[in-house]
A = this chain, B = another copy of it.
Amino acid sequence: MFSNKVQAIILAAGKSTRFNTGRTKLLEKICGQEMILYSTRLLESFNIPITVVIGYQKDSIKETIVSRHNDALNFVVQDEQKGTGHAIMCTQEIWHQENILVMNGDAPLVTADIIEKLYEKHITTNAEISFVTSHHAVPDNSYGRVIEEQDSIQIIEARDFHGDSSEHCCINAGIYLIKKRFLQKCIKDLTFHETSKEFYITDLIKIASDQKLTVTMVPALFDRIRGINNLQELWAAEHIKRADLIKHWMERGVHFSVAQNVHIDLNVTIGAGSYVGCGVHLLGTTQIGKNSRIQEFSSLDNTVTGENTNIMPHTILENSKLGSNTKIGPFAYVHDHSVIGDNVSLGNFVEVKKSSIGSGTKALHMSYLGDAQIGCNVNIGAGTITCNHNSMIKHKTIIHDNAYIGSNNTLIAPVTIGQEAFTAAGSVITENVPPQALAIARTRQVNKEGYATGSSHSAFVAAVKTNNDQASDHS
């Protein structure tokens, strides 16, 4: 809408001191996206040149931005952290548009309409400098206060403000639109504040006001302009973002039962008619098909499901793909690029790792299926384990359509079970099983009568270590 007249500068060089995590706050995630990307993606949507001022942990921040934006942004390094005014000074060489939009990198809830309104009023009032304000009456050491007296207007930074915040309830949101000509003329007039060892960008307001130049203010809701200066504010911002997302999906026919406990990421999609239970986590690029049920305490991360999927409680799905009409869980774990067909049932205490499972197949109880390629309509008995690892390398287990794997089988890869083959319960399968064959690998049972009579302790203890052939000797 204003691409030819505006360029943007994002301030992302600060030290995140109040986070106390030892890391830059700008890479903390909010609903699955790094905080700094909320600013860069918002401004990208306006199709204007963007410069990011980086300093503290600059390589990580740059890497994160570049991985998302493919080099479309410029970076300027502010080596010393001498305040917002100094950050702007560092960008002087790249000022080339008529208006410079400046915003903080730690304001992830700002929406496009706030920027649009700022631009519109900036133009219509022909202002030298315009900025976004908000109403915030409680004391808060994160926001400068806007003080208007007669003809004068200025921003007092939070650390220098000692007045009554309910009286001076208008705060500076940290989003400015400045005419290049004003910036070029007045940037040198910013003074160095000895107590904080910083130059403040906010002093430009007073400079303009003192020169009787037009200063325009544009109000916005506090919940949209919140800055994130500590971990409590991070939590609050994510809470707001999450509520926005849940409301969005509710309006599109998704039933959330205990919505306040659900975690949902920015890029998740959910089909109409679906149900999301208490404590569900929908993460990354997860896509839920229509009319599905995601039950309590399940987590889906980068996972795509078909329609009419039923994810039972306490199920974790990661980086996998599920067909329609599948039922998974409770207490199941499907991960590592597994692909599950339609009408599959996976039950409790079942893990599927790096495997494909054909349509109509069932594995209902306690199994580990790893590096396996399983056909359609296969039945996997309880306690089945694929041994894909021989201390050196990993091998594949292949099970063809309609095979029936008995309970408590140990399948030692590489191994192939043929179509319609049958393995006896309790077998250790070391060799391929031809189609329609029966494979057995277990020892015949021996009963030693009266062994447990008289509660003889020593007999019991002996029994524990007795094996089949020894037992047979006595029988």
Contacts and interface: CB of A to CB of B under 8 A. Distances in A.
A463 interface: yes
A70 interface: no
A462 to B, nearest CB: 9
Nearest to A425: B387
Q: Which of A279, A412, A429, A452 is most buried by chain B, counting CB atoms within 10 A of its CB?
A: A452
Interface string A395-435: 00000000010111010100000001110111111110110
A331 interface: yes
Interface magnitude class on chain A: 35 or more
B422 A437 contact: no
Interface in A343-386: 348-349, 351, 365-366, 368, 370, 379, 381-383, 385-386
A232 B250 contact: yes
Nearest to A395: B464
A1 interface: no
B422 A391 contact: yes
Interface string A424-468: 111111110110111111111111111111000100110111111
A438 B370 CA distance: 24
A19 interface: yes
Copies, count: 3
B20 A460 contact: no
A51 B304 CA distance: 45
B273 A23 contact: yes
Nearest to A449: B437
Interface of A: 19-23, 28, 230-232, 234-235, 238, 247, 250-261, 263, 272-273, 278-279, 281, 291, 296-297, 299, 313-314, 316, 330-331, 333, 348-349, 351, 365-366, 368, 370, 379, 381-383, 385-387, 389-392, 404, 406-408, 410, 412, 420-422, 424-431, 433-434, 436-453, 457, 460-461, 463-471
Given A382-B386, A383-B383, A391-B422, 5 more contacts: A21-B272, A22-B253, A231-B253, A422-B460, A430-B464
5 contacts: A366-B366, A383-B385, A410-B426, A437-B448, A441-B444
